[in-house]
Every structure is written in structure tokens, then in C-alpha cells.
Amino acid sequence: MSLFESLKERYEKNWCRKDQLKRFVQLGAISEEQYKEITGEEFTL
């Protein structure tokens, strides 16, 4: 399972918050497009 898939699953189970996902984008671990796919919202700081 990739990090993206893992984070998506965690978000769907409410084990991960949007602010945590934003940090993964800032660190370059996931892309802004992947953030949108997980949350359904555009990435903004």
C-alpha cells in the first residue's frame, strides 16, 4: 500500500485530519492533486 492509499484510508476512517494531510503536501510526500482526491477540496495553506 502506498503512502497516498494509506492516508486516504486513514482520512476516510477519521484517523487523519486535513491539517495533517496539508503537512504531507508541504513535505512533498503527496501532491496537491492527491490532497484534493483525498479530501474533495483544493489545497490551500
pLDDT in tens, 7-19: 999 999 999 999 9
Q: What is the pLDDT of residue 30?
A: 98
Q: How far, in Å, are 13, 22, 38 from residue 26 at the CA level? A: 22, 6, 15
CA angle 42, 44, 45 (to 5 degrees): 160
Residues whose CB is less than 8 angstroms from the CB of residue 1 and which lie 6 or more positions away in sequence, other chains included: 9
Residues whose CB is less than 8 angstroms from the CB of residue 10 and which lie 6 or more positions away in sequence, other chains included: 16
pLDDT in tens, 18-33: 999 999 999 999 999 9
Q: Which of 42, 2, 1 is nearest to 22 (CA)?
A: 42
